[in-house]
Chain A
């Protein structure tokens, strides 16, 4: 299948992007939005999105096939990793989840269609309507496509024209998603643009920012700050900085059989997108005192990762990344040779997966690509104390705990600053309505018009 040249990212690599080209693309997007998108109803957009998503889940879908054929070379993810990641995301883009998202963030399902009143407002003779930005620009980063897909879904819900600027070399999957929308509805597809260039091209970005009503940026904190400083006054900025995640397994959850399930779930979190997302765990804290102890759990996890490697291999890394893993693994092997407080399990003759058990609870940034720490703690408070250096930067905690303890643990995590808690095994599969970094992602895009009736 050859993709037609609908988007800037479809142009051959030699084609030079110019500020004039970007400006023209933005104006076309706005025009198309006025004609084709602005007046669509929420129901119509939800219909379209859930249809596109359902198509992506079909084995014979040409965009999915292309993603799995060419994706490994273009993204570095093995086909099985890609397939699982795509299924997880598109499986969440259902009519029910889309409706739930709108209701959750805007209080009422038709807020984007008309002035409506929630129960509290009606009594006060008030109503309100939400409108999305005319042109929404996404500056994306990182190697995972799903945050970009998620941003595009939100932008369509708000009926915004969207310009998706990908990091160089990262446009392949967002481009396929845009094509799949175009394929389903050309008019809506004409309100999307996808381009890629190396960030910091001020000539192109100045034009883009001048046209944008709202800019979302994903990336390192310095990138966020630099872009924010370059936006014209009045352009809204939504930044999603770097986050880390970890898991916590309560001792009481670790009975013999359950421990195997939890090791498999933890392996899923390590394998998903090769651990490269902000929602992937760096460390799994395991509480002492369970039927299966932390070190034993680490061994179970290693066995599970070996099994997963056989069916869902991690794929090749750059020499630099592989060398990072090899070097760090070698250092832990020296430590392990000298102390029973460290133990290392790793794929033989490759860097495909590594488990490092440490009695030392201090949080460690993993070198990722299926390199996971398992650390022993006495209780959650000790884990949080040990993770103090990443406080305020933690997105997700994958939690395994008996129901009777869970609520109290979540309260503890919330007060400490964690923005999402989910079951172990689902860290990289947030529901569509999740509050990204603790903020209502859809709600943050809209502007309200309040109507106080006579």
Chain B
């Protein structure tokens, strides 16, 4: 145990609680809300303090900072804190936790035989992860809470946690599921049924959506009129939507239903641009455009960004322009790959995240995602050519450079159905899939 980190995490949690307990303003831009505990100066103070702690307790990180000659005391602003490139989590243990205290590890997947990235956790760090993920998801995906949600049912298109213990995404969904019944009941009245996991891990390790159960879930929602919240990876959505199209099935989910989409495809057999995926979600499930929200997350982070606040009531009015925004306890910068300086609004650059909830690993993460800066948020704009060198295939390099979208580094293995025969092959998605380990 490192008491200083535990104490720091407690302060971050207190800040999150303070932000959460502010009056709900679902219509206000999320970034405007909850800044109380994390004003710019307070964020800076906390970030520099955390940098000093991580420099001290995270040996792999300290070596990198020393090599870059950026050490506590010299660094004056959170944006100057040395970042760790996300793919480096595959090769090095960027953690403050001694081996004996690592009770959980989240992996991103790679191609078969590749080393996955590893984000080590202990009970305290998981508690902080959970404390960070829930309020921001709730604010965007369940803005009506705490009132009026008792009938809303919830289901995930992923395997349950027992089958995917190393997935940060599944852990996040599980946390949502655990918080759901009480939250949906709003503290009054009976709690609804617990959420369902509609996927499973097949014998070959691939994630697969249990299609009959998913269809039954959609049918039940339509039959009872109880709105449904469905959360899944982009690829699991494609899997389900393709199946519905093949069966010539369309649904009109009850008002108040909504969908959350996260992650990507990474060179999978079929890649849908996000706009097309959202359009199909609306067409095939009868959701309003404002009932679909995208999430941006990575196994190396403990906070997530969302691109909109659900408006499930029929989608009246113009939809606000979408941009991913992190909670007030994290900051994003879009930096020029040339100069590493923040780009101007509307310009494209690499996405860099500073996440105060990443207490036991590294706060400052350099992703391989490209984003267009939109104020304090960003629009996802593709991926840099895979950083991790490859030598195994000329054409893989080419494919990598083409930047198939896949930004979630959560370990989701997805079963791809090769169409139309229905023969299945194991595939994995996630940025790691583009980055086989050093050959």
Contact = CB atoms under 8 A, between A and B. Distances in A.
Given A320-B385, A327-B85, A351 B394 contact: no
Interface in B83-106: 83-85, 87-88, 91-92
30 contacts: A242-B395, A242-B398, A319-B337, A320-B382, A320-B385, A320-B401, A321-B385, A322-B337, A322-B338, A324-B384, A324-B385, A326-B350, A327-B85, A328-B388, A331-B87, A331-B88, A333-B68, A334-B64, A334-B88, A334-B91, A337-B68, A349-B340, A351-B338, A363-B391, A364-B389, A364-B390, A364-B391, A365-B389, A365-B394, A389-B393
A247 B177 CA distance: 57
A320 B368 contact: no
Q: What 5 A-B pairs come out closest when comparing CB atoms?
A: A324-B385, A323-B384, A327-B387, A337-B67, A326-B337
Contacts of A335: 91
A338 interface: yes
A349 B338 contact: yes
B370 interface: yes
A323 B385 contact: yes
B304 interface: no
Tell me what chain B mostly uses at the interface: helix, strand, loop, or mixed: mixed
A393 B60 CA distance: 38
Contacts of A326: 337-338, 340, 350, 384
Interface string B308-340: 000000000000000000000000000011111
B24 interface: no
Given A327-B87, A330-B85, A242 B337 contact: no
Contact of B339 (A331, A338, A350, A393): A350
B63 A338 contact: yes
Given A330-B387, A331-B387, A363-B391, 9 more contacts: A242-B395, A320-B370, A323-B384, A330-B85, A334-B84, A349-B338, A350-B339, A362-B391, A367-B385
A328 B401 CA distance: 12
Contacts of A334: 64, 84-85, 88, 91-92
A220 interface: yes
B15 interface: no
A442 B166 CA distance: 59
A395 B389 CA distance: 21
Interface residues of B, number: 44
Given A242-B394, A244-B394, A349-B339, A331 B385 contact: no
Contact of A323 (B91, B337, B395, B439): B337
Contacts of A330: 83, 85, 88, 366, 387
Contacts of A322: 336-338
Interface in B373-391: 381-391
Interface in B340-370: 340, 348-350, 366, 368, 370
A336 interface: yes
A359 interface: no
B392 interface: yes
A393 B395 CA distance: 11
Contact of B395 (A220, A324, A325, A389): A220
Nearest to B368: A327
Contacts of B339: 349-350
Contacts of B219: none
Given A331-B85, A349-B338, A323 B64 contact: no
A333 B66 CA distance: 11
A39 interface: no
Contacts of A327: 85, 87, 337, 350, 366, 368, 384-387
A349 B341 CA distance: 9
A221 interface: yes
Interface string B214-231: 000000000000000000
A351 B337 contact: yes
Contacts of B124: none
Nearest to B393: A389
B403 interface: yes
Nearest to A244: B394
B397 interface: yes
A21 interface: no
A365 B397 CA distance: 7
A20 interface: no
Nearest to A366: B389
B366 A221 contact: no
